[in-house]
Structure 1
Amino acid sequence: MRARTSARLGADFAKLWTASAISNVGDGVTLAAGPLLVASLTDDPAPVAGAAFAQQLPWLLFALVSGAYADRLDRRRLIVVVNVLRGVVLAALAAAVATETATIPVIYVAFFLLGTGETLADTASAARLPGIVPPERLASANARLMATFTVGNQFVAKPLGAWLFVVAAALPFGFDALSFLVAAALVAAMRPSAPLREPRQPAARLRADIADGVRWLWNHRLLRTLAVTMGLANVVFCAAFAVFVLYVRERLGLSEVGYGVPLTTFAIGGLLGTAVAGRLQARFGAAALLRAGLVVEALTHLTLALTTSPWAAGAILVVFGVHTMVWGVIVATVRQRAVPDGLQGRVSSAYTLVDTGGAALGSLLGAAFAEVLGVTGPFWIAAAVVAALTALVWMPLRHASAPAESGREDRRDPAQPETS
């Protein structure tokens, strides 16, 4: 079955998918080992959290610029070059760890460079997908990519990264360096990208390209609705889950070891979601699933605010995990079908900036909410906000159905996006 699916999606997708699977494992290994490395140098929790922030910060700083370059440059070549450079950065970090010369500033710089590369490579990869997969197969392709992320980055990589770090502290970073080089070789074997558009005049500035992408996203009724909905939902979601470790201990009564159980149930739900996303969309349609997903999200926050049972929390997190992956597959597919090829990188990066910005703001607000309202307070706020969002966007989401189910491309001229 997997071979038949790969054949339908094409040889280039098989290479991109394999490269993504390999680099996802490598990424997860580094994400697991990074905090352990910092913790081996200091007992202060702030620097440990800072390592993750150093890797996330480039998405806030460079997402729009990376989108512009993904539309200006050959996407295949951009992915290859960035993956090679990330491999070099990780090899240097592994060498510093092996020689015991790695310091916290060195780790931060390395993680910041890795995050910067991620903004370029991930944006270019998402923008490349509609060029190598037929429109009617995009949902299947996105589901496979998300499934490999869930399995590789969450299930396989986290324990592997911790185990490799115990064996030798430099080993996980060397492993990730190798994964990027293998991924680069696979992407290099793909067919060259077709020319995206006529080059701009030399006088044109990069910010004009960026403005085109932001303007196109804002003027497209459905994608604007999805972006704003996701950004606001991420504010309250990340506010709630920023204190999830305290919630698990104080509300559910689980130990530090038990903290991993609800996270695992969420990952299991995500894996199930990638497996059924295509069939659910074919059966019920994108609009119905997006609406149902918001209802599930509101009920998830409400359940977590009310329950003291680890079993109830685990059960709702399985359902929530299914929702997040189904939502992600649908939104990525709708966006890829609607956006003109020459704007894929910029529109995708603008969407991601709204998404990531909401997550960053929520992470900052979570502790404040919990301090004032207790560990369940952020979940009550999240339930109320998502319920209000659901009511507001219920009717606008009806526009999700037409392009998503038909498989027809809806790629208007960049200067004439759909308006409300």
Structure 2
Amino acid sequence: MLSILTNRTYRHLLAAQIVALTGTGLATVALGLLAFDLAGNSAGLVLGTALTIKMVAYVTVAPLAAAFAERLDRRKMLVVLDVVRALVALCLPFVTEIWQVYVLIFVLQSASAGFTPAFQATIPDVLTDEQDYTKALSLSRLAVDMETLLSPMLAASLLLFVSFDSLFLGTSVGFIASALLVVSATLPSPRPVEPRGIYDRTTRGIRIYLKTPRLRGLLALSWSAAALSSMVIVNTVVIVRSNLDLSESAVAIALAGFGGGSMLAAFALPRLLKRFSDRRVMFSGAVLGTGVMAIAAGLSAAMPITLGLLTVTWVLVGFGYSSTLTPSGRLLTRSAHAEDRPAVFAAQFTLSHACWLVLYPLAGWLMTRFGATTAMAGMAVAAILGLTLVLRVWPRTNTKAVVHSHPDLPPDHPHLTGPKPHAHPIIIDDLHHRVPHEP
């Protein structure tokens, strides 16, 4: 897996991702402490609102950013967005009102909504071999999971020597370091064949996405994965602190189980994806996570939940979650031409976060109103709905070349040159508006 680090451009991009994630992790801890400092016992409400603002920014800003990404130098765009994030982080220690937190969080997450899809779309342009790209996806997953595990520990260590608002300085340093690493790399920046209007550019990624059967399947899997992760992210602290009456360190142990399972999947995926299709691996991962969540709901109804049982459950759910979502970059790369990749990655970013925007509050409401057993069962049912939709919208067959015709093109059109009958893998574009023979 580490062999791809010999590629200098990718090595710098991975380093940029790691330092930016570290800065984000420090900001997460500092934001919770800032909310408590400003709102006291209402800090949970402040953080919940900030999380909602984050998701709204992701859902609304990503398509707009993608519309401009195809006309901008990609490296300059990434650097500017990193600088914006660094400046916002520097402003956070000086806020005195809760509304100021909300405004700054919206600006920060809007910049992230532009940065993340463009960054993700750059990797397959740098690593053109599919096996290398698969390894890169696993390394990115590992970086995310390591940040989840290590950033709280780093923050705790720093808080022994500095106040919590100093953590925002670390966040800013992380984003500046990310910008410098991006500057040091030479990035490809594909251009569209012809200029398009703003409406076309804003909606193009989502239109390509929703017209591609395997990407509609990916959206259904994203719904299932969001249902599982929402239960973990939103309700672990309530289960451990309230139901089990355990300490904050026990919360960290349970969440580490989820992150550890995800990391195990990241190590296993390159080999699994060599032997099995993306569809089989991703669907199996979602089935595993859903089945474990459903079994845990049944067990919790029959016997008290223990920390050990919860942690083992989260390990298996984390493995299924990572197996479901980590290969998604391969599907997105195969489903768009180079110039459309930023828009398609932005579409996945937008639509998947729309799933979390619905399921985060649902998981919290079920837990508050009915308890852990019902919340687990409800999230398992939501995940099953996604799995059912996958079977309907993502065909099991994966024909590499599809025989089709173009009655709207003249016989001498350049696209029609070559052997007859006309057959090739279908990618939605200006010449292919739908997948042939699709019902």
Q: TM-score, normalised by structure 2?
A: 0.84
Q: Which one of the candidate residues 115, 118, 126 is aligned to 2:120?
A: 126
Deviations 1:303-347 (A, max 9, x none): 331232322221121122122222222112221222111111222
Residue aligned with 2:70, SS: helix
The letter of the residue matching 1:312 is L
Q: Secondary structure at the match of 2:34?
A: helix
CA separation in 2, counterparts of 1:187 and 1:241? 31
Instruction: Judge conservation of contact 1:291–1:394 (CA < 8 Å) in 2.
Output: no
Question: 2: CA distance between counterparts of 1:375 and 1:192?
Answer: 47
Residue from 174, 181, 194 that aligns with 1:179: 174
Residues 182-191 or 362-371, more deviating: 362-371
Q: Which one-letter code corresponds to 2:372 in the other structure?
A: V
Using the TM superposition, give the Cα deviation of residue 168 of structure 1 relative to its aligned residue in structure 2, in angstroms: 2.0
CA change 1:410–1:245 in 2 (3 A) is: farther
Q: How far apart are 1:413 and its partner, in Å? A: 5.2
**Rounded Cα–Cα distance in structure 1 between residues aligned with 2:47 and 2:368:** 21
Q: Give how far 1:139 is off.
A: 0.7
Q: Does the C-alpha gap of structure 1 residues 334 and 171 become closer, same or farther in structure 2, counting only changes over 3 Å?
A: same
Q: Give the equivalent residue in structure 2 for 1:376.
A: 373
Alignment of structure 1 residues 138-287 onto 2, 5 Å: 138-151=133-146, 153-165=147-159, 167-198=162-193, 200=195, 204=197, 206-231=198-223, 233-235=225-227, 237-238=229-230, 241-249=233-241, 251-252=243-244, 254-287=246-279
1:18 corresponds to which of 11, 15, 19: 15
Question: Deviations 1:6-45 (Å, cap 9, x if unpaired)?
Answer: 12xx211111111111111111110111111121222113
Structure 2, unaligned runs of 5 or more: 401-423
Q: Determine if contact 2:126/2:188 at 8 Å carries over to the other structure.
A: no
Correspondence for 2:407: none
CA distance in 1 between partners of 2:19 and 2:385 (Å): 40
1:135 to 117, 125, 129: 129
Task: Letter of the 2:77 partner, please give it.
Answer: L
Alpha-carbon spacing, 1:371–1:328, altered in 2? closer, same or farther (3 Å) = closer
Question: What do the CA deviations read for 1:165-212 (whole angstroms, capped 9, x no partner)?
Answer: 4522332111111111111111111114344214526xx2x2221222
Q: Give the deviation of 1:226 after TM superposition.
A: 1.3
Residues 74/199 of structure 1: CA separation in 2 closer, same or farther (3 Å cut): farther
Bigger drift between 297-306 and 365-374 goes to 365-374
Note if contact 2:240-2:251 (Cα within 8 Å) is conserved in structure 1: yes
Q: Which amino acid aligns with 1:216?
A: I
Name 1:385's counterpart in structure 2: 382
What SS class does the counterpart of residue 258 from structure 1 fall into? helix
Alignment-mate amino acid for residue 155 of structure 1: L
- 1:199-257 Cα offsets, whole Å, 9 max, x none, are 526xx2x2221222221111101111211332355257526753333333455554444
Which blocks of at least 5 consecutive residues in structure 1 are unaligned? Answer: 404-408
Structure-2 change in CA distance of 1:189 and 1:216 (3 Å)? same
Deviates more, 1:368-377 or 1:277-286: 368-377
Quote how far apart the aligned CAs of 1:72 are.
Answer: 2.8
The equivalent of 1:59 in structure 2 is 58
- Residue 406 of structure 1 corresponds to which residue in structure 2? none
1:106 to 92, 100, 117: 100
What is the one-letter code of the residue matched to 2:308? W
Whichever residue aligns with residue 310 of structure 2, its letter is: A
Q: In angstroms, what is the RMSD of aligned CA positions?
A: 2.5
Report the AA paired with residue 209 of structure 1.
R
- Aligned pairs (5 A) from 1:73-84: 73-84=72-83
Aligned equivalents of 2:221, 2:79: Cα separation in 1: 33
In the TM superposition, what whole-angstrom CA distance separates every residue of 1:32-59 from its partner, at most 9, and x where no partner exists? 1111112122211312333333333311
Residues 237-285 of structure 1: per-residue CA shift (max 9 Å, x gap) = 5267533333334555544442222111111111212112111211333
- Percent pairwise identity: 20
Q: 1:397 to 1:220 in 2, by over 3 A?
A: closer
Q: CA offset at residue 365 of structure 1?
A: 2.0
Asked whether the 8 Å contact 2:290–2:317 carries over to 1, the reply is no
State the one-letter code of the partner of 1:145: S
